[in-house]
A and B are shown apart, each in its own frame.
Chain A
Amino acid sequence: MIRFEDVTITYDGSVAPVIAHANLHINEGELALVVGPTGSGKTTLLHAINGLVPHFSGGTLSGRVVVDGRDTATHPPRELADVVGVVPQDPMSGFVTDYVEDELAYGMECLGLAPSVMRQRVEEIIDLLGLPEIRDRALASLSGGQRQRVAIGAVMTTHPRILVLDEPTSALDPGAAEEVLAALQRLVHDLGVTVVLAEHRLERVVQYADRIIHVPGNGAPVQIGTAADIMRTASVAPPVVQLGRLAGWNPLPLSVRDARRNAEPLRERLRSAHNEHRQTGAPIDTLAPRLLDVRSVSVAYGTKTALDNVTVTVDPGEILAIMGRNGAGKSTLLGTLVGLHKRSRGSVLVSGGDPADMRGPELISRVGLVPQDPSDLLSRDTVQAECHDSDRDARAPRGTTATILRSLAPDVATSQHPRDLSEGQRLALALAVILAARPPLVLLDEPTRGLDYLTKSRLVEALRTLAAGGHAVVLATHDVELVAEVATRVIVLADGEIVADGTTRDVIAASPLFAPQVWKVLAPQEWLTVAEVEQALGGVR
């Protein structure tokens, strides 16, 4: 169905190719998963399938990409629109119309299909993807998961035989991700569509993949193989695979279900080590003033309540994770802690002061927020200039930011444009900028979006070091594995209200949606991460 013959792609202005001598053959009806570190060329590979690379992106492609018998060299993306449907990373950026139904029909209008055919296909897709309640809604009013499903539906109405998706679940909460993946499953099983998708959150998708395409980056050869084969050695692997490697299971489990069937002997070995849990969180001095004290805060946008009577406190050394659905009020809560949103009632005290009344150095020396898109914070054209500006803003000695950046991400070249950094490097730079002012309270909004496992483990280290140094960290995230690794406490928001507040173990274990993979495999024993299990096994031996 899709054939890459000795494909080498080089972008203009760069010497090394992104993808070198790739030979792939993806069969009809397969679900192929593209994995690899950030910036390794996954998106380039996906876009080469429908000719966006190089027709739209520029650069040179040598070799041949043949899709359903059509060579992309002679067929621009629009001539492949009836064969390949591409869902972009941010579905909102690809929407052409305002309303769900119009969006579903747009591709067919471009192909010039008859109105009666269009009516029928729109109805079919609405049923197939479960969109009947939102068919008349404005696209801007949809939640993340709904947008993703509409984006998939919008390309599926032209009946393409190949569907290409770029990180379809990375911005979604666990529940919405399940919805999207269930929809994809239906397309693969019922319609026999060939699906190629790239994803960092392997724990969500790896069990659905027939084959995995591993893009190691730096021009190293692209590998393709069955999921179990590739996972045995791949540089990126979800917790369940790591656990399987640790326990020496064969065949390697890819899903929680497979792993659980193998897990009895491991549980037996771990029984004696049962109580040696890593003690999470520093001992709390109840008399010391709270670092963050939020009391019955409500925030409203127009008539819509974003936060409703939220009370939460944070002490130094804590890492608090805020979880909840898309739109539950996580970002609003973080914004309120730096005085970005007007409270309709309640009080916020950060180190004894109200952030809404603070500005400039006074604010940033007490609390720092890394926003969802870290590049919002960055405005200069080199890393060096950005660091220099940051020292000046924070009234810190020259070189402070650069030193912090080196400790977070040693490989960043200071002459680079922030835009050219990888996702993880950009996050490190934004975090360094925030830390330059030495705020005791550090907030991060969705920090692991688009990060691979390696970058994520570096972030985990950095956050632990911060907490050990007496900082408090609050992060809003959908990433249950990150929460299991790093958080000492979790609060869950739903429609702006706190519905759960407790230690990580208590909160996420109680929820079937939020429990991490290791927990699900080893329940009823209480293990959160592979690292914990590894430590315990070391003790047993």
Chain B
Amino acid sequence: MSTRPRWLNPFAWWAWALGLAVMASRTTNPLVLGCVVAVAAYVVAARRPDAAWGRSFRLFLILGAWVIAIRVVLGIAFGAPDGGHVLFSLPSLALPQWAAGVRFGGDVTEPALLSLIFDGVRLAAILACVGAANSLASPSRLLKATPAALYETGVAVVVALTFAPQIVGDADRLRSARRLRGRDTRGIRGFGSVAIPVLEGALEKSLHLAAAMDSRGYGRMAHTSDARRRTIGATFLAALLCATIGAYGALDERIPTSAMVSLLVGSIAMIAVAFVIASRARIRTVYRRDPWSTPEWVTASFGLACALAAISTAASTAMQGPTTLSWPQVPLVSICAIALCVLPAWLTPIPPDRGRR
């Protein structure tokens, strides 16, 4: 199916990644979580572009490892005893009366430790999914696909995103310049003396960029009235808020499904309204808008399938991690749904900057 190299619509990648993330959030079964991370990593390796943001997946994995470590250390230090087999005991601290209910140290039991680890892994897996979307979907193509009404906000975000790697480069350069002056490049002082010139440089760069954008005609076609622009912007923000709350509901089983569904439907309706208003104002044209065709449908629907599988099987005990050190149960439906999600590694087109060389 993958023919000519082209960019997959970034929204398809996000739908796919969020589907995997829903799966990860609904389980503490290490087997399922491992599959989610493996699938995300495989697809990223197969389809990430050769740009700076394409390399961000690794950072998210590192962040995930830190999350696991911090979660476990804090959990052991402050956790409550759960009963079960005691693995080892930490010296416990007798806390004064006013701190009743807070415990420090003491027994560490097998179920408690395992649940801490699995909980950490779950967070790390969700991070891995977000990281996958981040490195697969280009921020500037996401901007291209955003509706015209959000364009100006989008430009600010994308400019900020492209500046981040440049700022890192500037900081490196100025740190080496400090070395050339025979000064210390490490420590707080080293950092502080570099921070101000780096910020100055970033400001100067943004001025240059603004001048370049102005002389290339940016803002020329935006003959939209302020009132209309504000209406569109406000509707979109409200829709995003509803969508966020709705999505949060999908991740948390305590929120009733009806509330969640109504929020999501509401947000979709609001987005539609904003689209209609925005499309009346002719703002700017788009060169090669990313199409939404078979590979996009496939990718997004696998994500959706994964999310549905997760929601429907969340209650089953197979989705819970084991409480003793034993082989976890194998929830077949979920594993199959995750396995589907690895298919975009073959079914999507290769990104152009990796395709032709």
Interface residues of A (CB under 8 A from B): 50, 52, 55-56, 76-82, 84-86, 88, 90, 93-99, 101-102, 105-115, 118-119, 122, 136-138, 140-141, 154-155, 158, 335, 338-340, 359-361, 363-364, 368-369, 371, 373, 376-377, 379, 389-390, 393-394, 433-434, 437
Contact = CB atoms under 8 A, between A and B. Distances in A.
A319 B49 CA distance: 44
B173 A376 contact: yes
B179 A359 contact: yes
B177 A377 contact: yes
B51 interface: yes
A335 B181 CA distance: 14
A110 B216 contact: yes
B182 A437 contact: yes
Interface residues of B, number: 47
14 contacts: A78-B219, A82-B217, A98-B51, A98-B138, A110-B284, A112-B282, A118-B288, A138-B51, A141-B50, A340-B179, A368-B180, A371-B180, A377-B181, A393-B183
A-B CB proximity, top 7 nearest = A81-B217, A94-B212, A105-B287, A110-B217, A364-B182, A136-B352, A376-B177
B57 to A, nearest CB: 16
Interface string B210-234: 1111111111110000000000000
B19 to A, nearest CB: 26
A392 to B, nearest CB: 10
Contacts of B219: 78, 110
B281 to A, nearest CB: 12
Contacts of B212: 86, 88, 93-96
Interface in B161-194: 162, 173-174, 176-177, 179-184, 193
From B182, B215, B356, name the one whose CB has the most chain A CB atoms within 10 angstroms. Answer: B215
B52 interface: yes
Nearest to B213: A96
Given A110-B218, A393-B181, 4 more contacts: A118-B287, A359-B184, A361-B182, A376-B173
B209 interface: yes
Contact of A115 (B138, B213, B287, B355): B287
Contacts of B289: 115
A434 B181 CA distance: 7
B84 interface: no
Contacts of A155: 216
Given A82-B217, A107-B216, A115-B286, A364 B181 contact: yes
Given A82-B217, A109-B284, A110-B221, A93 B208 contact: yes
B353 A99 contact: yes
Nearest to A105: B287
Contacts of B329: none
B181 A433 contact: yes
Contacts of B355: 136
A113 B283 CA distance: 11
Given A88-B212, A136-B352, A158-B217, A112 B182 contact: no
Contacts of A81: 215-217, 220
Contacts of A338: 179-180
Contacts of B52: 138, 140
A393 B176 CA distance: 15
Interface string B1-34: 0000100000000000000000000000000000
Contacts of B220: 78-79, 81, 110-112
B205 interface: yes
Contacts of A158: 216-217
Contacts of B285: 108-109, 112-115, 118
Nearest to B180: A369
Contacts of B287: 101-102, 105-106, 108-109, 115, 118-119, 122
Nearest to B287: A105
B301 interface: no
B215 A434 contact: no
Interface string B260-290: 0000000000000000000000111111110
A115 to B, nearest CB: 6
B313 interface: no
A169 B50 CA distance: 28
Contacts of A377: 177, 180-181
B324 interface: no
A487 to B, nearest CB: 23
B221 A140 contact: no
B216 A52 contact: no
Contact of A340 (B176, B184, B208, B221): B176
A373 B173 CA distance: 10
B214 A335 contact: no
B56 interface: no
Nearest to A338: B180
A335 to B, nearest CB: 7
Contacts of A80: 215
A93 B209 contact: yes
B197 interface: yes
B180 A364 contact: yes
A115 B217 CA distance: 17
A394 B183 CA distance: 10
B182 A94 contact: no
B306 to A, nearest CB: 29
A360 B284 contact: no
A335 B183 contact: no
Contact of A52 (B182, B211, B352): B211
B251 to A, nearest CB: 32
B236 to A, nearest CB: 21
B351 to A, nearest CB: 9
Contacts of B217: 78, 81-82, 107, 110-111, 158
Contacts of A102: 140, 287
Contacts of B210: 56
A119 B288 contact: yes
B213 A363 contact: no
